Each structure stands twice: as C-alpha cells, then as structure tokens.
C-alpha cells in the first residue's frame, strides 16, 4: 500500500480517474500483468468482465472502452494504465 498509490495521488491525475477502491483494483491488474501494451498510447486491459482498450493521448489523458468509463468517466482499467505508465517513466528515468 505504501509508495506507489501515494505517488500517484500526488500527481493529481489519478484522483479524477479512479476512486480508492478502483485504484486498488487497478494495482492488482498491473501486478498480475493484465495490462498489455499494444501500440503507442494503446493498451489492452484484461478485466474481470472482459478485455477493454485503453487509449492514452499525448497529454497522458486516458480513456477506456468499458461501460463504466462511458458512464462515469473513470474505471480501474484506465487507472491501471496510468499506474503502469508512471512506473515505466519512473523505471526508464535516467539518473538526474
Ligand atoms: Zn475501463
């Protein structure tokens, strides 16, 4: 629980994107490798109820094809992609 959700909350992005419960779910999706990078800015997320496409634009804003995102504008899949990409950026980061 420590470390990464906090860091994401810090960015502010995730707050708009997911509730705390969604975030926890999103973290599990990432941890169980259920987020596949398809192409630049395009991800497949294998959720509990189906596989959804999450698209991230140049600004880092994400959208998902699941019904939850369509109705609420937030979901654990989109949050999972944000988590994954922030991690990647972190890992790839050159020593400053
Ligand atoms: Zn979704």
34 CA to centre of ligand 1 in angstroms: 13
How is the chain split into domains, by residue range?
Answer: 4-92
Provide the pLDDT for residue 96: 52
Q: What is the pLDDT of residues 46-65, one digit of tens each?
A: 998 899 999 998 888 899 99
- Max CA separation in the chain (angstroms): 41
pLDDT tens for each residue of the chain, 96 residues long: 445 555 555 555 555 566 788 889 999 999 999 999 999 999 999 998 899 999 998 888 899 999 999 998 889 999 999 989 887 655 544 555
79 CA to centre of ligand 1 in angstroms: 8
Residues in the chain: 96
Nearest to 75 by CA among 27, 35, 28, 23: 23
32 CA to centre of ligand 1 in angstroms: 16
Residues lying with their CB under 5 A of ligand 1, a single-atom ion: 52, 64, 66, 69, 75, 77
Who's near 77: CB < 8 A, 6+ residues apart?
Answer: 26, 29, 45, 47, 52, 54, 64, 66, 69
């Amino acid at each position: 629980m420590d470390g990464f959700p906090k860091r994401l909350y810090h960015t502010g992005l995730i707050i708009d994107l997911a509730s705390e419960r969604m975030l926890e779910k999103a973290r599990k999706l990432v941890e169980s490798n259920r987020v596949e990078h398809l192409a630049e800015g395009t991800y497949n997320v294998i959720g509990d109820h189906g596989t959804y496409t999450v698209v991230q634009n140049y600004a880092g804003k994400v959208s998902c094809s699941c019904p939850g995102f369509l109705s609420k504008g937030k979901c654990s899949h989109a949050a999972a992609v944000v988590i994954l990409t922030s991690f990647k950026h972190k890992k790839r980061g050159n020593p400053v």
